Amino acid sequence: MDVDTRLLRYFVAVAAEGNLTRAAHRLLVSQPALTKQIKQLEALLGVTLFVRSRAGMALTEPGRTLAQRAPAVLAAVDEAVRGTKGTASRVARVLRVGFLPSATNEATSHIVAAFTDRRPGWRVEMRQASWSDPSGGLAGGEVNVALVRLPFPGQDRLRIEVLLTEPRCVALPSAHPFANRDRIAFRELRDEPFVAARPEPGWWRDYWLATDEREGHPVRVGAVTDQPDEWLNAVANGYGIALAPASAACFYARPGVVYRAVLGVSPTQIGVAWTPSADGDPAIRDFIRCCMDNRPLH
């Protein structure tokens, strides 16, 4: 019998969380999709893995047996995949660097240049991830290392060096009543419609909606986007406002959108991230060193 490792990952997350909603947020999938996958695994194995109740998802006896053994299986598979891809990168002399649109900055070109100087004959292949994968492609093994925007779900399972801390600002349509002000308190924005990321990233989406700073005010979502161009168009067309890194004013300037300082929300950070299994990879260590040596000064 062949069991898809994806089903095992979903099972392990639900077993660890004991709750479908939290597990779905951790896995960056919707709750209905996760429920369907768990039922598929149970049908494939011919056993009941969970007892479902209002309190959550409790493991059955067969479920506990699988929960004890599945993590080791997945760890072995992950290590084999990463090792294979790492070897392929070294043979081809290509470093695959994932990034989120909001995690690149003026230092990125200097980092890449410094790496290629340090490793002649190597090429850096930049791969942009959507906001639905805030790990920048690391979670799925698509890249060797990533430039990420902190905080995000799952970062505790990665190695991360912080490169930059910056305040968050607010992006407004240029016709907005607050557009002529230099600073705006977040409490004045809480009842505005917001442009939001898709729900799959869980609390990463919540962070950019500042749910912790709303003092009980519910979020009003005016539009949902997954890429910078969609996001900018939604703001410019008046579907909502949005929190953004302060550097967005430089890198995502466009007619119809203004950026203003916002008071009462925590700052954000840019970091370079990699998996613990890559600690000994010389090329990745060199790239991290180049990131640290060329980090922005502001």
The CATH number linked to 174 is: 3.40.190.290
Query: Do 236 and 219 reside in the same domain of the chain?
Result: yes
The answer to whether position 103 is within a domain reads yes
Is the domain of 179 the same as that of 231? Answer: yes
Asked if the structure places residue 181 within a domain, the reply is: yes
Question: Is position 197 within any domain?
Answer: yes
- Domain of 250 in residue numbering reads as 168-266
**Residue 87 resides in a domain:** no
Same domain, 160 and 273: yes
Q: Looking at the structure, do residues 144 and 289 belong to the same domain, yes or no?
A: yes
At 64, which CATH number? 1.10.10.10
The answer on 184 and 222 residing in a single domain is yes
Whether 298 is in a domain gets the answer no
203 and 63 in one domain? no
CATH of the domain at 279: 3.40.190.10
Within 8 A by CB and 6+ apart from 278, the residues are: 82, 86, 144, 145, 159, 284
Which pLDDT does position 244 carry in this prediction?
Answer: 95
**pLDDT (0 to 100) of residue 75:** 77
Tens-digit pLDDT profile for the chain (298 aa)?
Answer: 677 888 888 898 899 888 888 888 777 677 888 899 999 999 999 999 999 888 789 999 999 999 999 888 877 777 666 666 666 656 557 999 999 877 777 788 999 999 999 999 999 999 998 888 888 998 878 899 999 999 888 888 899 999 999 999 999 999 999 999 999 999 999 999 999 988 766 788 899 999 999 999 999 999 999 888 999 999 999 999 999 999 999 889 999 999 999 999 999 999 999 998 888 899 999 999 999 999 876 5
- Listing from the earlier edge strand, what are the strands of the sheet with 145-150? 123-128, 94-99, 145-150, 268-274, 159-166
30-51 in b/e form (b: 16+ CB < 10 A) is eeeebbebbeebbeebeeebbe
Q: What is the dihedral of CA 235, 241, 242, 245, to 10 degrees?
A: 80
Same domain, 146 and 277: yes
